[in-house]
Structure 1
C-alpha cells in the first residue's frame, strides 16, 4: 500500500511539468531549497534519465515551500503527554518548547492570540462570550482578516481548517449570505460549533451544513482524523504547498471518550504533585483561601476526571499517528512540518482546585508544544520562553512569509534551526479578565465564586508575580518553590516589587514592537 501511494504521488508530480519536484535531498532543509543536483535527480526519476554521458542535465527545480500541519488540542495539560506515545515520538523526532506559556488560559482568548500573534489586550477578546469576548468580538475587531489563514493563502498555500474555531461560532451562521459562512483565508473549511460532547453536532463543510449523529463513526475526533487524512492525500498531489489546522475539542469536558477507549486505564489516578490538595492556603489570595481541603469523594472524582481525559486523548494520539503515517506513505514527510500543542493547561487537584484553568499557576499557563519537520534536529529541547503570541509569526515564518502586521510575538524559527537569538524575551505576560457567568459557556465553572478574579501576571525564569484588580498580590520564588505553594508577596522587597510591577505595566500596555522590547527587559 505504501509503495502504491508513493508511486501514485510520483506519477502525479511527473505529470505536471510546471510543478516543482517534491522529493530529494535538501540544501537547507529549513528553507527547503533543493540543490541543482537533487533537482536534476528528481527530474531524471520522472523522465527515466539515468544520467548517462551525452545527456544534458535537467534544470534545477525552483524552491518549494514546505507543507505545515498544526494540531491544536483543547485543555490538554502537560501531565497527559505521558499517555500519548505519538506525541512522545514527535518529541524524539523534533523540538520541544519546555517553557511555552499561554497569555490567558482560556479557550477563546488563547485562540484569538494564536490566530493573530497579539495579546488579549490587543485582540480585545477577553472572555468566551460577548460583550468582552467570543467569536463576534474577534470578527468585529478584524481578527479573521489579521489571522494567519489569509496570509498563508495569499502566500500560495492551499489552506484547510478542521474542528473547533472560536467560542460562539455557529456552523450555520450565514453572515448575511445564502450559505453557511466560511471565514476568509480558508480553501477548505470543516468547523463545528458545540462539538464538546463529540456526538450530535453539525459541521460547516465548505459552506454546506452537515449533521452527525451518535453512531461510533460519528465520534468527532475520529471524523476530524478521517477528514485530515483525506485532505493530505488530495493536497499531496496538487502541486501546491498546503497548510492544515486540526483543532480538536478533546480533551475538554464533558469528557466523552471514543467507545474503544471507554474502559481503558481503570486504575489510573491523577498525579499527586506537592501542591495537590495543598495543606495550607492561608497565604493565598482571597478567592483561593475560601477553598476547603479536598475530601475523599472529590478526590475520587478528580481521579475519574483524569482517567477520562487520558481516554479522550487516545483518539488524538491515534490521529497524530495516522497523519504522520500518511505523510510517510506519500513520501512527503521530509517536506512537511507537524506542530502539536494545546490552547491552555488544566489544574486538577493542585492548590485545592478541583478541575479548571484560568489561574496564573504553571498548571494552567504552561503547555506542551512540539515541532517536527525538515531541518529540525531530533530530541531537542528549548528552555527559553515562548508564548502563543509567537505562533502566527512562526507558522508564517516556516512558510517563508513575514510576521503578521501588528504581531506582539516573534517567530520561533531560529530555535527550530538550533539558534538562540541573543535578545530573546526573559518574561511572559499572563492576563485574565474574570468572565461573567453564562450557561452557554463550556468553561462556566471558572466564572463562579471561588474562581480566580481579574488579574495580570508576569512569569520569569525564577518567579511568578500576580497583581489582582482588587489590589491583592502573589509572588512565588520558583527557584526554591517550583510548585508555587508559598506566596511571599507580603515579604517582597520594595525595589523588586516595583521592578516587576513596572515590567508588568509595560507589558499590559504594549503593542507590536513595544511588546518585544518589554519582553527583553524581563
Structure 2
C-alpha cells in the first residue's frame, strides 16, 4: 500500500470555474435531466450555496472581481479587454505569500494580449492558459500557452484536455500545498460559430428536452442552442467527477477545498441581442458549491451570496488573512456559527449592453439603467432610470415587469434605497434615480411590510 503524503498545514484549493452556466442546469435547482450529478453529490456532501450570483455578468469584469475580490469599477476592469492594472494583488499573490504553489489553466481574459506575458498573468507560478480561449481554440482544437509563451496543443475535447492538464498538475504537487484555478470556456458559445458545440453525440441526447420556463416563454435562440449547451454542461460535470476521483485516488480529498462556480449565466438572446449582460437571474444566477475542509456536512447556505464574496472565503478557509482591500465578505462565519450580519441583498454592476445596476433580495429584483451613457466607455453614471422590478416569489423567472405600477411604488422606493446604499459601499457615487412612468394597477397594492420582505 502506498504511503500517504505527509499531513499539510494548510488545505489545497482548487477552483473549478465554468463560463456562462445557468444555475438551473443543476438538479438541485429543479433541472430533471441529470446534467450535474457530480455537482449535486458534491453540494449535498459539502456546502451548497443555494442563492449564488455574479457581481458582473460579463466575462472579463467577472474574472477581475474573482481574482482580486474588488468590484470591476474599483479595478477599472469594467468591460472586456481591460487588463488588470499593474501591481494588482490577486488570489495567486495571497496564496503564494503563504507558501502555496499556484497554477492557472484555461481562459484568463484579463491581459488584452495573446499569448499573455509573465507580468500580466496575475502572479501565477504555473501557466497553461490563453487570454481569450474562445479565439485561441475550438471544441476539438485546444491551444493554450505555457510559461515560455509556447503554444501547446492538447488532445481531446476541450473540457477533457484541460481536465487532464489539471489532474497532471495535482499529481505533480501531491506534497505541496497548492492553489489551482481551472477556467473552462464551456458552456460558453464558440464565437466564430455562434453555436454551443457539445462533444460528439451529446447534443443529440438533449434535443427536445426540458426547457426552463423563461426560455420556453421568450424563445430567443433557445430551441437552436439549448441541446448543445446541455451537452457541454454534462461533459463539464463528468470532468468534475474525474477531478474529484483523482483527488480521492491520491488521498488528497480530505485536505483539498474544491469550489465549483461560474462567471455568469445565459439567457439565449431573450433579454437583449446576445446571451448575458442583463440584470435577470438568467444572466446573474450561477451554480455554486464547496467541498473539503471547513465545508463538509451537507450544509445548505440560504443567504444570498455574490461572486465578490468568493475570494475572501477561499483565503479565510485556508487560514490566510483577508486583506482589507477586498470588498466582499467571507462565508466562513456563516458556516461556523459565528455571529455575523449578512446583507439581505446582492448588488450587480452591468456593462457593455448598458450602464446598469441591479439589486436583488429573496423577494424582489430592481434594475436601473443609464441610457445616455456609452456602455463601453462609462463605468457608471450620476443618473439612472428605473427599468425593471420583479416579484420573485410569484414570478421567479421574471416574466412580468412591475416597474412603474402604482401598486408597487413602495417596493421601488425601498429597493432604490437598497441600491443606492450598496453602490456607495462599492465605492460608487450615489446617483439620482429617475422613476419609471406611472402605470395604473387596479386593486392590487403592496404593503410596506411586503415591500421590505
TM over 0.5: yes
Distance in 2 separating the partners of 1:365 and 1:420: 28
Correspondence for 2:10: 65
Partner deviation per Cα, 1:217-262 (whole Å, 9 max, x = no partner): 243222211111111111113xx31111100011111245464444
Question: Is the counterpart of residue 198 in structure 1 residue 118 in structure 2?
Answer: no
Deviation at 1:204, TM superposition (A): 2.0
Correspondence for 2:448: none
Deviation at 1:489, TM superposition (A): 2.1
Correspondence for 1:397: 316
Task: List runs of 5+ in structure 1 lacking aligned partners.
Answer: 14-20, 23-62, 175-179, 279-293, 436-446, 448-452, 516-520
Report the secondary structure of 1:490's partner residue. coil
Question: Is the counterpart of residue 329 in structure 1 residue 269 in structure 2?
Answer: no
Question: Is the counterpart of residue 246 in structure 1 residue 182 in structure 2?
Answer: yes
Correspondence for 1:150: 93
Correspondence for 2:165: 227
Mapped contact 2:57–2:283 kept (Cα < 8 A): yes
The size of the alignment, in residue pairs, is 404
1:424 to 342, 358, 362: 342
Partner deviation per Cα, 1:74-99 (whole Å, 9 max, x = no partner): 00112322412211121222111111
Distance in 2 separating the partners of 1:202 and 1:106: 23
2:209 to 269, 275, 298: 269
Kindly report which structure 2 residues correspond to 1:457-472, keeping only aligned pairs within 5 A, or say none.
Answer: 457-470=358-371, 471-472=385-386
Deviation at 1:502, TM superposition (A): 2.9
Deviation at 1:349, TM superposition (A): 6.9
Decide which structure has the larger Cα Rg and report it: 1
Deviation at 1:128, TM superposition (A): 0.9
Task: Specify whether residues 342 and 421 from structure 1 end up closer, same or farther in structure 2 by C-alpha distance, changes over 3 A only.
Answer: farther
Task: Specify whether residues 260 and 267 from structure 1 end up closer, same or farther in structure 2 by C-alpha distance, changes over 3 A only.
Answer: closer
Distance in 2 separating the partners of 1:510 and 1:414: 21
Distance in 1 separating the partners of 2:210 and 2:421: 38
TM-score, reference length from structure 1: 0.71
Question: Is the counterpart of residue 374 in structure 1 residue 297 in structure 2?
Answer: no
Provide the aligned C-alpha RMSD in A: 2.8
Task: Specify whether residues 263 and 342 from structure 1 end up closer, same or farther in structure 2 by C-alpha distance, changes over 3 A only.
Answer: closer
Task: Specify whether residues 118 and 182 from structure 1 end up closer, same or farther in structure 2 by C-alpha distance, changes over 3 A only.
Answer: closer
TM-score, reference length from structure 2: 0.81
Distance in 1 separating the partners of 2:186 and 2:215: 26
Question: Is the counterpart of residue 117 in structure 1 residue 69 in structure 2?
Answer: yes
Partner deviation per Cα, 1:382-412 (whole Å, 9 max, x = no partner): 1101101111101111111111331110111
Correspondence for 1:25: none
Deviation at 1:475, TM superposition (A): 1.5
Mapped contact 1:202–1:210 kept (Cα < 8 A): yes
Report the secondary structure of 1:367's partner residue. coil
Report the secondary structure of 2:26's partner residue. helix
Correspondence for 1:76: 21
2:355 to 447, 450, 454: 454
Question: Is the counterpart of residue 209 in structure 1 residue 153 in structure 2?
Answer: no
Distance in 1 separating the partners of 2:13 and 2:356: 35
Deviation at 1:469, TM superposition (A): 1.0
Deviation at 1:337, TM superposition (A): 0.9
Correspondence for 1:108: 60
Distance in 2 separating the partners of 1:244 and 1:484: 36
